Amino acid sequence: VIPAQDEVELLAVLLAAAHAAVYGYGVLGARLDEPARRTARSAVDAHRARRDALSARLRERGADPAPGLAAYDVAVADRPQALALAVRLEEGMAVRWRDLVGGTDDQALRRQALSGLQDAAVRAATWRRLAGAGPAVALPGTA
Amino acid sequence: VTPTRLPRPRRPPARGRPGRPRRRPPEAAAARELALLARYDAVLAARPGLSARLRPLRGHHAEHLAALRDPSASPSPTGAAPSPSAAPPTVPLPADDAAALAALTAAERETGQAHGRDCLAASRPLAAVLGSLSASELSHAVALA
């Protein structure tokens, strides 16, 4: 069996994106009213859970999961910007999850990546709908 | 080892109904996309008022078919729509807009789950395509709700 170094790299990229998503949702959630704020809270919970699972997958492979940064360069002035950022975060996560779907033969890892891709695309569609934006791209994760 | 034109699953699919010929994943997925296109066409014909809402989603399925035919190709921006040649599954005519949307939502979910199952057993390039298709159908269910 070839050591799956590429898996480790893909996992590390995903972990960094998940840290950023958790931070980003914290910022954008503050600019939303209910019930959108509740949707943001449930999204941040989901990203936290996936972030922790990604850290675990990295440790299983002998890699050290990197912590998140102290701060990220995000500015959200109002509701439209908050919704736009949420769409961007989810569509960005979809790209990275898709990379892992097509970058591993490990069944458990692919299952996890597929689920991450599906959830990100569904949340992106939810945010697009709230933003009154058009439907998502035809192939989530390729944007 | 003779190279085949289409990627093969690494192991025989565990599912499959008896009496039904097994299809390789890209073909099975393409058949599902054609069935969805037929459903959209049936609803669009019966409920023209839903056209603005449904056309973009139907266009996605046409792009899905194109992606299945060439997993390495980048998605076409136009998404030329092939007309389904297969007879649609027996689709009861929707009684009203709500019933039509509910039936499409259920069909999208079902197709998204089937793509997801095939994704797990597929070769890497095909898995990426099936993953996107699965995610797209599940997000369509949100757009239709």
Half-sphere exposure of B130 (CA within 13 A, CB side): 32
Q: How many CB atoms lie within 10 A of CB B5?
A: 6
The pLDDT value given to residue B72: 58
Q: Is B93 on the interface with A (CB under 8 A)?
A: no
Choose the mutation target among B126, B139, B142 for the interface with A, i.e. most A CBs under 10 Å. B139
Residues in chain B with CB shorter than 8 Å from the CB of A134 are 56
The pLDDT value given to residue A142: 94
Closest alpha carbon to B143 in B77, B65, B53: B53
Interface of B with A in 62-81 (CB under 8 A): 63-64, 67, 74-75, 79
**pLDDT under 50 in chain A at which residues?**
1-3
Q: Is A117 on the interface with B (CB under 8 A)?
A: yes
- Cβ–Cβ pairs < 8 A, chains A and B: 97
Residues in chain B with CB shorter than 8 Å from the CB of A141 are 128, 131-132, 135
A118 Cα distance to chain centroid: 11
Inspect the interface and report whether the beta carbons of B135 and A126 lie closer than 8 Å: no
Question: Which residue in chain B has the smallest CA separation from A107?
Answer: B120
d(CA B145, CA B138): 11
* pLDDT tens-digit series, residues A15-38: 999 999 999 999 999 999 999 999
The pLDDT value given to residue B25: 76
Do residues A98 and A142 touch, judged by C-beta distance below 8 A?
Answer: yes
Do residues A94 and A137 touch, judged by C-beta distance below 8 A?
Answer: no
The 3-class SS string of A123-138 reads: HHHHHHHHHCCCCCCC
Q: pLDDT tens digits, chain B, 145 residues: what are they?
A: 444 444 444 544 444 445 455 567 799 999 999 999 999 999 999 999 999 999 999 999 999 999 998 755 444 444 344 444 445 556 667 789 999 999 999 999 999 999 999 999 999 999 999 999 999 999 999 999 8
d(CA B33, CA A64): 42
The pLDDT value given to residue B71: 57
The pLDDT value given to residue B79: 39
**Four-point Cα dihedral A52, A54, A60, A61, nearest 10:** -150
Q: Is A98 on the interface with B (CB under 8 A)?
A: yes
The pLDDT value given to residue B94: 75
Inspect the interface and report whether the beta carbons of B143 and A135 lie closer than 8 Å: yes
